A and B are shown apart, each in its own frame.
Chain A
């Protein structure tokens, strides 16, 4: 998670971050944080297993071909297998897409990038949006 690796820059501008996930918490602990304990993460990880927030924020589902032609899917499975995990029938929704938003200090959207495939903005782009959202007097 690249934001965590550059957390000092988020902290320096006084920004908060909330990562929203819909997987089972135990799967997240195994796959997401590179062994870092949840209690030591500098941001919140919110769990939305029913995906009500995904719907409220208008996030789409991908087409099957977008998923199965995506090399990141195979990298993730390879990483899990190397870690001793087993492939198993999931039930997880592989088609659910995510998105990145920056909310300004007043509660309005300052930046929006809903995913269309496996596209995610660079951390620097998100940081720049967060800085701009503070207004001209605080950059």
Chain B
């Protein structure tokens, strides 16, 4: 099954991942402010 990317107006899919600093980041914890979510390609 292919998921399509969310479009403006859709509820953002969940995001809850470990961070490079050693903690975790979850989109739900950033509610109340605009959030840029930027998925990057392979770095090298």
Contact = CB atoms under 8 A, between A and B. Distances in A.
The answer on A and B forming one complex is: yes
Interface of A: 3, 10, 13-23, 25, 27-32, 38-39, 44-48, 53-59, 76-77, 80, 85, 90, 92-94, 96-112, 114-115, 126, 130-131, 133-134
Nearest to B15: A53
A95 B41 CA distance: 8
Contacts of A39: 21
Contacts of B33: 14-16, 105
Instruction: State which size class the interface on B falls in.
Output: 35 or more
Interface of B is mostly: loop
Interface in B1-30: 2-15, 17-21, 25, 27-28, 30
A84 B9 CA distance: 46
Contacts of B7: 109, 112
B11 A108 contact: yes
B35 A102 contact: yes
A20 B37 contact: yes
Interface of B: 2-15, 17-21, 25, 27-28, 30-44
Given A107-B31, A109-B8, A10 B44 contact: no
B5 A100 contact: no
Contacts of B38: 3, 17-20, 98-101
Contacts of A45: 19-21
A46 B25 contact: yes
A27 B42 CA distance: 10
Q: Indicate the member of B4, B12, B20, B28 with the most A CB atoms within 10 Å.
A: B20
B42 A96 contact: yes
